[in-house]
Amino acid sequence: MKFGRLMGVQLKIHPLLLLLAAAYFWLGLGREVLLVMAAVLLHELAHLAAARSLKVTVGEVELLPFGGQAKTEDFTGLEPDKETIIAIIGPACSLIVAAVFYFLAPYLSISKAGFFIKVNLLLGLFNLLPVLPLDGGRVLRAQLSRWLGYKKATARVAFLGQLMGVLLVAWGLYQAFYSMTGINILLAGTILFWAARRESQLLSYSFMRYLINKKGNLARNGLLPAQQYVSQPDTLVKSVLQVSSPTYYLLVVVINDHHQVEGIVSEAQLIECLLEKGPQAAVRDC
């Protein structure tokens, strides 16, 4: 469900989060719900600010019970260093906010300050877990992609997320026999499992949406502006894709050391090659 925009990015809220918020409001915990939402929005604002500073385009952000999930549309964002920085900024922001309020709380007459500190602390620490779709999982995926390629790294770290979701569901069921907090753990585990399973599909979906948009423009107009570049076979694919843009189609003419044409590589081939073989993939690999 869409409910607004943040820094020019569409914000969505998961239906389960809406149900949880409504339930807690009904239980008289409306102030706590607002503080949780504020903590999550601060967390995501940090991600968006980092992405914008690195010139990585984020299409939309979906708010979940344990944080948010950003969908990137800029494939230069698949560089491990960029993804690591963007991912780690969110938990860092949450932990910094928790620390600031912890030290300022004795001097501030703010009700629920302790609750806000706890929420930010849990949000920061939980998102550091090395499983997708959490931020720690994005860092792990970024590092694994250097050797495995982005697709394989995504599949493996997403599996860890599903495993973590199953463990949380089991723990939540056990705790539910003793206290209501078990229900929160159960729901968090369910959402984590679902989001981790969906994570492995998001990359292919975004890739297809990116190219289908260009194919749609080509079908409607009968032609599409193209930008042609000349490249050597050893040039890194990620360097070539730095010049890609949604407004034109990228074609790369590959020449050898004798300046003879070895072939033409399309934008779709370059992106697929980067996803399959990782950031060290060269044009010759396509």
Residues of the chain with pLDDT under 50: none
Residue 230 one-letter amino acid: V
Q: Return residue ranges of the chain for CATH 3.10.580.10.
A: 225-285
Give the pLDDT confidence score for residue 186 in this predicted structure.
83
**181-221 and 150-176 are packed helices; what angle lies between their axes, rounded to 10 degrees?**
150
Edge-to-edge strands, sheet with 261-266: 226-231, 249-255, 261-266
Give the pLDDT confidence score for residue 192 in this predicted structure.
86
Q: Which string of DSSP letters, residue by residue, matches 201-220?
A: HHHHHHHHHHHHHHHHHHHH
Give the pLDDT confidence score for residue 113 in this predicted structure.
79
Torsion of CA 146, 150, 156, 159, to 10 degrees: 140
Give the pLDDT confidence score for residue 125 in this predicted structure.
94
| Active site (catalytic) residues | 44
Domain 225-285 has CATH 3.10.580.10: yes
Of 46, 56, 59, give the one whose Cα is nearest residue 123. 46
Cα–Cα distances (Å) from 248 to 30, 99, 263, in that order, read: 48, 46, 20
Give the pLDDT confidence score for residue 212 in this predicted structure.
61
Contact criterion met (CB below 8 Å) for 17 and 67: no
Give the pLDDT confidence score for residue 214 in this predicted structure.
65
Cis before 133? omega within 30: yes
What pTM was estimated for this model as a whole?
0.74
Give the pLDDT confidence score for residue 124 in this predicted structure.
93
Give the pLDDT confidence score for residue 129 in this predicted structure.
93
Per the listing, tokens 């539910």 go with: 176
Give the pLDDT confidence score for residue 167 in this predicted structure.
93
Burial of 269 (0-12, 13-18, 19+ CB in 10 A): middle
Query: Which helix (H) or strand (E) segment is 36 a member of?
Result: helix 30-53
